[in-house]
Each structure stands twice: as C-alpha cells, then as structure tokens.
Structure 1
C-alpha cells in the first residue's frame, strides 16, 4: 500500500474537486490509502458522497487553509504547524505518507516544502518539473518556476534531477538531456548555460545521454527526454504552451460551428477531433513535481477539475512506485564522484537535508 497525503483545501475549488478526483484514482489504483487534511465541515460531506474514498482515507481536521493569494512569507507565518498544506507536507517528513499532493498556492507550497523537507545534500535549489506532451510522446521540462535565474552548477543539478525523474516515469535507462538555449551551436547562449553544457559533456554520466543545446521548438518535437532551463524561461514556456493549446481549441471550436457544412464535417471527423482533443488536454499532464527535496511533493494546477487532480495524484503514485528519491540520490552521488572540481556541500542541506 502507498499512502498519499492530500491538502484538501488547496486550489480554486477545494474539496469539491479534490475528493471526486480521489474517487477516480481509487477506481484505477486499488493499492492506495489517503491522509486527507482540511476543514472537517468542508471535507466530510464530500467523503459522505464518495464512500469508496472514505473507506481508504483518514481525515485530519485543520483549522487553517492557505489562501491562493497569500504571499509565501505570510503563509509560513500563519499556516506553519497548523494549516492543511503544512500538515500534508509534514506527513511526508514523518514517514506517515510517501508523497504529498496539493492544488494550493505554488509559492506557499514550495516555501513550506523547503522549510519542512529541506533540500538534498549538495542540491542548492529545488526545481519544479512538468510533464510536456510532444510529437514523440512526453518529455520532462524543468525548472518551470521554482528558481528564477540559475548558475551552471544549478543547471547541472536540474539535469541530474530531471534525468532521474525520466528514468522513474518513462522507464528509460539513459534518458536524453538537453539544455534550452537560443541556438544549438556551442558558442551561443549565456555563459552559465555554456559552462553547464561543457561540464555535462566532460563528466559523461552513464545515467543520462547529454544531447547538447536545444531550442524552444525542440520542446514540442520531443527532441530529448529532459529539457533543462531556469525557472523564468521555463515558466514562460509552460504558460505559453498551455495558452496556445487553449487558443487552438477555441479556433477549432469556432471554425467547426461557423456553417452547416462545417458542422456536418465535424460530425464525420469526430473521431479524429476527439483524438486531437485528448492530445491537447492539459488536465492529463496536470502536476508539477518538486525535485531536489527529501521527499516528493506534487503541485496540481489551482483551477484544475477532478480529472486533472486525479492525474496529479497518479503522477505522485508513479514517482513513489518507481523509487524516484532513490534514483536521484544514486545520480547525485555518481556525478559528484566524477566532478572535476567538487562543490562544497551547502551547510543547510548537509545539516538538515542530509539526515
């Protein structure tokens, strides 16, 4: 059995989406149980409407819920030790659960996760990894918002984290890894990106196949299994892709309803349009994994529906089932054993995260 801790109060809709999402997961994953944290008067009625979820869940009442517009510092002051978000994360730290899922405030969730779980030894900053639909299937892109700006060592950390996640999620022995850049030539791009590329090439880890630089259009092509960038450009790329998917969907909907002939054509081609809609359905790739912490936390989109929240839960399930944390630690140790100029271990990570 895998135990998953749930922040039931997170997101725009709270328990009214979270519990129905868990219902979908229970129907597909019989080896799960849930620790659900939230206000009893809000969560209990939803559990009553979904007895299959209630049968495999323990509800823990929490008086405080982090608001979507709270600043991270405000959420830490008001919600530490007592909010549903904090307690869901603490359940992972204490070993009561293997992974935490929340659709709540991203900044608050990252701040609380870093404060509670701490970063792994030698990892300077955590990253948020997103699953990206591509022509070839799926890729992993990181960082998509946790770290704005990154030096060469942090980009290498992200490459190690992303490759380990690809091995866990895609079951690929040596995932291909590329650094996002303004061109594929080695002389192009910022100095930090060029330095990271050179180090990855020199070390030549057996747990990843370093491809080199990739450009923005390579993300959708699926040129590599893992695309590495810093959080500013990664977040813009993510939001641009989501917006473009919705834009194309609206264009198609408008075009197919414009005339009687177009509506007839839509009926005749409905199967093809359904497959296209499924490919572009962002709900099925919902969930950003916080990497580099001593525990797994998955962030679901705040405005998701029950199917999207279920996808985030199942992503967390897969990360636990395929031993993501163990794979990351193996890759970190392997890289630092071969690194030409070892970095000093961060005091905070060594003292807290390395325990």
Structure 2
C-alpha cells in the first residue's frame, strides 16, 4: 500500500512543481465570470417555480429511476422528454444520457467499428477523445477549424468515415465552420457529429443550437446536446435517426450499464425547455455584453482577447506567469475569473477564460476591465 501512495504523491508533486496542481475550492459573493450558466437558468426563480408545479403531476413516479432503463428504470416521462428534445432540435429521435461526458463516451465508443475512421478537431473536448480511445476504429486529429487540413487527412480514410467537432469550442469560444464541414462530409460520404454543449440556448431562434440555426440538421448525423451549461441542469441527449437510437440502446455501454436519471432531473429539463423560447432578450443581451467586454479588453496594453461571436472569451497575457496572480487579484476584487492552465490547454495556450452571462451588467463589465488594467 505504501508503494502506491508514494507513487501517487510523486505524481502530485510533479504537477505542483509545474504550477498546475488542481484543487477544489468554493467561492461566494463574487461576480460570476466563470460559470457556464450563460442564460441564468440555474438561478432562475421562474424555473424553480415551474419545476415545483410540474413535480405535482408526477407524484406516482419514484424519486430515483431505480435501475438502468433496460431494467426497472424506464418510465413514460423519459419517453415524453425524449420526444420533446427530438422535436426541439429538429431530429427524428433522442436518447438521454446522465452527462455530456457519458453521452460522448457512450456514442463514440460504440458507433465507429473496427476498420472505420474517425477525424476529430484537435480542440475537441476530452470526453470525445476518451470515447474514441475506447473505440476499435482508427482516429486522426486535424488542425483546429482547418477544413483544408481535414480534406488532406481524409485520404487516410477506410471504412465508414466520421467527422467529430464542437459547434462552439469550450476554451476559445470560436465556432466550427459547420457549413463547410457539412459540404465536405457529404462529398466524402462521412457522418458529421456535432457537440452542441456550448451553443445550446444561445444560437437559433429558440436556442436550439448552431446546427439548427444554420439549417444543417439534415446534414448532421448526430447532435450531442448537453444540459449542464445554458440549460442550468444536468444530463445530455443524443439527437439522431431512430436507427441510431435503437443501436445505442443495444450497444452503448455508457447507456446500458448505468442507472437512469432521477425524476426531478427529468422534470427540470422539461421545464427548462419550456422556458428556452422565451429567452430571446437574454440571448441578445449576453452577446452584446460579450462584444463590449472583448472590445474593451483589447484596449489594454499586454492583453490579447481574440474576437469571438460567443460568450466565452480567452484573455491572453504577454507572460503566462502573470495569469495566476492576475486571477487571484481579480477574485480579491470580487470578480470570479479563473486561469486555464496546461494540461487542460496546450502549453503556451494558457489563458484566463472569461464567461459572460445574461445576469451580468454593463457596470460589472466596466469594473472587470478596470481591475485588469489596474493590476497590469
């Protein structure tokens, strides 16, 4: 036992020496420029009230699913919610998973077969890469948002071809060139899979995501819809053809071998979907605030904030060593801003990741910019 503990301590010491040791902490009373609660649904009193009202309709259901959905865990609320999800995202069917991580792992470990080929954007989320590691298919990365590089890599393809991207990337906030990717995939008979985690709620007439906003739902083989961000909830769904839903029920181990989501979670998601179409003003407001922040940050010497059409902003400093002291200073000034270090991002790409929300104010934007200016 002591040998194992010593090895673990050594690994932690190595990360500490690199300045990248992670630790859990709690914060209270700070202005939120950190969370993924883009539209404020996680703190919405209206959503909370709706959930309480809706719960009264489902008192006959158990609090927990009681088992996997293939055993005791399935009931009509699952089926009802999946129908709502499929229709909302203009798909044929939907299948719920317990988290975005499990959805990506469950899909990508089960779908590509031995002899198939998967191409994924190098900036894709860790859950997508982990799912591919469990697959028997060959996989290759292509340069971030570089359609020309993907076209070159497609020469390596054998079997069924899959292309995996995020619609909006979680670190940089930049969009995938979905229209160009759809054209290329159609030309090469490749199945395009799009993770909508950071686009859900923010794009589309009703916040359906970037795939639907661009009218590409018939060109995308599967959408991964994640609920821990703008929906203020938990879980995920895969929106896809009926045959893929049936296939995943039979072959996706992340779906088969886990207890289903609890009833309260399903009710919360149903209620969040009912509110999403009403949040047009919030979508416009948060994007306007993000543009204002990006413009003002780039006026600060030694700061670079690349243009982004999302609410996720990357703030780079001339010296990476400035990031942690700057984040600590901002937290002391009541702004919850966090540094993102390697290995979460590649070495040399460390940054502050600043997220703007519908409940942030122009005064808070001005205050954050002033605090960064004062520290540097």
Q: Same-fold call, TM > 0.5?
A: no
| TM-score relative to the length of structure 2 | 0.28
The two structures have a TM-score, normalised by structure 1, of: 0.29
